[in-house]
Every structure is written in C-alpha cells, then in structure tokens.
A and B are shown apart, each in its own frame.
Chain A
Amino acid sequence: MTAPTEPGVVIVGAGPAGIRAAETLTAAGLRPTVIDEGARAGGQIYRRPPEGFTRPPTTLYGSQAGKAVALHAAFDGLAAAGRIVHLPRHSVVALADGTLHAVGDSGSRRIGYDRLILATGATDRLAPVPGWQAPGVYSLGAMQIALKAQGVAMGRRIVLAGSGPLLTLLATQLLKAGAEIAAVLDTAGMRGQIAAFADLAVRPSFALQGLAMRARLGRLYHAGIAMEGIEATETGVTAIRWTDAGGRVQRTACDAVGLGWHLKAETQLADLAGCRFDYDETWAQWLPRADRMGRAGNGVYLAGDGLRLLGADGAEVAGRLAAAACLSDLGLQAPDVAADLKRLGRLERFARGIARAFPWPADQVRALPDDAVLCRCEGVTAGAVRETAAYGGAEVNRVKSLGRAGMGRCQGRYCQLAAADLIAASGGLAHAGDVGRLRAQAPVRPTPVRAFLEEE
C-alpha cells in the first residue's frame, strides 16, 4: 500500500506570521517549505544581525526581547529537526497555477504547491516630501534595520519625521544607542492622538510604553507639524524645513532624515495569486480580502501585516489562524482557534486606534508643489502626475502606463499611495480609493535574466 502524497504547503515569509504558521503546520505532521528573503528567520521587526554580532536580545529588541527570542528559537528548532524545508535568501518573484518562482543567489527554482500561505509583511508607508530623493533620506524602517542588524546610525545628526508608533520607538532606540537626534517631527496633531486613546487603551501596556517613550523625548518631539522640504547638496541632506503647530516655519540642520507614516501592506504576491482587494479607509490603502482566518480562496491563505496591519503580535496570531484554516481545509486536525480569534479582535481595535491617531497625510500630499519628486525611482514629479491624470484620466494604471509613476524599479511600492491622492485630486475625486488599484506585475522584485537561464 502506498501512502497518499503529503500535501505541499509553501509559506512565503519567515517573520512572526510565517514562523507561527510553520509551527502550527508541523504540529499537525506536515513538512512545509518556508521561503524567506532574510538570511536568518525573524522578519523585519525581529530581524537578527549576522552571525558573530554580540549585542544581547534585550539591547536589540527592548521590551519585546522575550517574544523575539521565542520566535527565533521556535523556527531554528523546526529547521534543525528537518521538520520544515527552509529556503533563506530567496525571493518569490512570480506565481501562477500552483507553481512559484523563487530566486536566490544560485538561480531560480520552480516550486509547486497545493496550498500557499503568504506572510509577506509590510514596508514603510511613505509620503513624498520635496527633496526626499537626496542621499541621506531613508525610511524609518531602514534606520531601524541599520541599527538592529548592523549597529550603525544613518547619519551624525538625524531628524525623524512622519507619524506612527515607529517614529517614537526609533527615536528612543537611536538615542539609547548613542546617536544624535536633532528633532522628531510628527504630522499627527495631539488632538487626533487623544481622540484615539480609547481604542489604544485596549492594550494598556503598549499605550503606556508609547507615552513614556514620548515623554523621554521631551522637547525633541513636535506634534502637528507640516513638512516644507528637505535641503541638500550633492553629497547629501543638510537640513529639513517644517512648520510647527503654531504656524512658524522652522529649519533644522541635519545630515540624515528618516521618513515614514506607519506601514503599507506588501501585497504583490497576493495580487498575483488572484486575491480580491478592498480599499480600506482607515489604513488609506488597498488590502487583500480574506475571512477572519486569513482564507483568501483557491488554496491561498494570508497572514500578518500583508493582510491586516496589526504589528508583530497580531502577525503571530494571524500566522496560527491561517495555518489552522489550511489544516482544516485539508481535512486534517486543526488546533482550537477560539482564543486567537478573540485576541485578533482586540488587536484590530488597537490597530485602528493607531491608524486614526497617526493618519496618512493626505493634505500634505495633495499640496505637493509641481516640481516635487513623487517617484524616487524615475524622478517623476507631482506636476507630471497631475498633467498625466488630466489628459489620460483619473485611474492609477493609466497614469502608470502614460506617465511612468509606479513603473520604476520599486514597482510603485513607495509612490502609489501618494500618486493615488494626486490623481484623485486632479480628477476632482474626494477619495484616493476612487482612482483604482495599481496592479502587481511579475517579477515582483527585479530579477537578473541570468536567474532564469540558470534554473536549478
């Protein structure tokens, strides 16, 4: 008698969601393949430095060190015992009809799957600021990765600007590590932050930690500011200009600027996998459609920040839920999910509070001067996008085809939300969601032709 073939489950991403999904599947006796871009599992928020670095987890992850260590240990244990197939340093660049293309240093390989769990995480959500193409401007996430994984500050005198939990957290971490912070500029006003407090208080320890960090920043922190522009010479940033809550224009000298407005879900693979999307007003972005468990249909499951922007704790919960849904759809014994579903509800309420407290700066984007660069990849200006939308129509994919916004090497990851605002304004539409959704195209990462010639 031959044993039935074990169903092939592939997990993309080895952050908190992917790790908990892998753990849940292996507990049921499956041996999933986990494909991840990182050299070591952990994802971005629990990113590990290379081998040979010596700072302890408490230095790297602060109050979240216990969670980071537990996740790393869980994954390393599964990998060492051969209970998963781990493909580190591989990018999934395309997928269709139950086959995906994973590209690594040694070429491309095709991997078949019966079920697919996408735990692709998020990137920083960026709004353009005039001058942001200058060397020395980074995303807030970039500055945090540099500190965690390399032990470096991205400049000698740093300004952090934008909004969201990472703004305060990163400022605190950089100061603690010995970096010089010149200012922390928050486009969210105090009034909105206070209004959202009822939702934030569902996770009291997180909310209090945030307030304590904010208090320690003291006079470095400015709420309710408006960005004016970043000044630079050929070698890089020299200052940032901003208007304070009282309407006074300020100029802060610096050699590095970190920018970010919370997170943007990384959804390209979900798009290629055929997921439907809905525009989410709270998050001001398109998010893939799935049920409470993360079931998106056709054997595809979504988990973590690539589905709902709940942060690392929410990603762990979502990873377990997606794997449980996958197991039960395969007719296998799935763990009880009642407690996780309850946690999910609480985390969602907190996350929506965060989204309201630190909103996307739509007014700043719509007020961008015509000569401001919108697309960093190809230098497409705000004026060019307005002009293209005026003659081509207020639809993001048309503006991409005709005017190249979203056509560049990042494939619109960092300009598409701002472009949608400009296109909506140009078309007289109130909502960025009314101008359509930028379609993902394979390969979702630039891939050398060599990778396909040297297929393993």
Chain B
Amino acid sequence: MSEAAGGRLVRLAETGRVPVRFLLDGVERVALSGDTVLTAILTNAPSLRQAEFGPERRAGFCLMGACQDCWIWQEQGPRLRACSTQLADGMRLLTRTRGDWP
C-alpha cells in the first residue's frame, strides 16, 4: 500500500479495496473505493482547505457532520462536506478557492 508523501492519515485496515482516481488541485491522485472525500484527500495531503478567519489550514475536526470544518470546493462549483461525502471516480476536488473567482 503506497501512501503518497505528505498524507496525514495512516491506513491501518481495509486496504484491499478497489482504487479510485480523482483530481486534487488538478493533479491525479488515488484513493480507495469506500473512502470519504476527507479520507481520500488526507491520505494524499496534510490539509483540506485554508481557514477563512485565520492564517492556518484546516483538516476537519469532528468527522460526524457537526462542526462543518471540512467543507471544500470542487472545480465545477458546488462545495461539499468532505467527512460525509463518499469519494466518486473522477471527482475534481480543490483544497483552495478557485483562483478565477472574484
């Protein structure tokens, strides 16, 4: 099981699942079928998004849909809550706000 450098999470079990490809900030990445978007991103990167009210980045907090820390952008617009959304093949996820938006 290869863990991309810079990933925060460590896979301890259930590693035999089918790989799923997605784009993270335009770069193709691989996670596993059954991963949440949060798991998929954080096995590949240290954080999910930039905090709006502080200098730090954020990587989720409660994982049960209560804290709303893990809302991220997709290339096509709609945001999603990473901890409660299943990863789907070909998702185009962003850890930053789209650069061409005002």
Q: Which residues of A contact B (CB under 8 A)?
A: 37, 39, 44, 49-55, 59, 91, 123-124, 133-139, 141-142, 145-147, 150-156, 177-179, 232, 234-236, 255-256, 266, 373, 376-379, 409-410, 413-414, 445-446, 448, 450
Contact = CB atoms under 8 A, between A and B. Distances in A.
Contacts of B68: 377, 409-410, 445-446
Contacts of B51: 133, 379
Contact of B59 (A123, A136, A179, A377): A136
B27 interface: no
A141 B62 contact: yes
A50 B39 CA distance: 13
Given A134-B56, A146-B63, A55 B17 contact: no
Interface in B16-47: 16-17, 33-36, 39, 42-43, 46-47
Interface string B41-74: 0110011100111101111111111111101000
Given A145-B64, A151-B11, A151-B14, 18 more contacts: A39-B86, A50-B34, A53-B14, A55-B14, A123-B64, A123-B66, A138-B63, A147-B12, A151-B15, A155-B9, A177-B13, A179-B10, A235-B6, A236-B46, A377-B68, A378-B53, A409-B71, A445-B68
B56 A135 contact: yes
Nearest to A155: B8
B84 interface: yes
A88 B14 CA distance: 24
12 contacts: A37-B84, A52-B34, A54-B16, A138-B63, A145-B64, A147-B12, A150-B35, A152-B10, A179-B10, A179-B12, A234-B56, A376-B69
B60 A37 contact: no
Contacts of B35: 150
Contacts of A152: 9-12, 39, 43
Contacts of A235: 6, 46-47, 57
Given A151-B14, A152-B9, A446 B60 contact: no
B99 interface: no
A446 B56 CA distance: 22
A51 to B, nearest CB: 7
Contacts of A51: 34
In this complex, the member of B6, B42, B59 whose beta carbon has the largest number of chain A beta carbons within 10 angstroms is B59
Nearest to A105: B85
Given A37-B84, A232-B56, A373-B54, A139 B61 contact: yes
A132 to B, nearest CB: 9
Contacts of A378: 52-53
Nearest to B67: A410
Contact of A446 (B42, B47, B71): B71
Contact of A138 (B53, B56, B60): B60
Given A123-B66, A234-B56, A235-B47, A151 B13 contact: yes
A173 B64 CA distance: 19
A142 B14 contact: no
A220 to B, nearest CB: 18
A270 B32 CA distance: 38
A137 B63 CA distance: 12
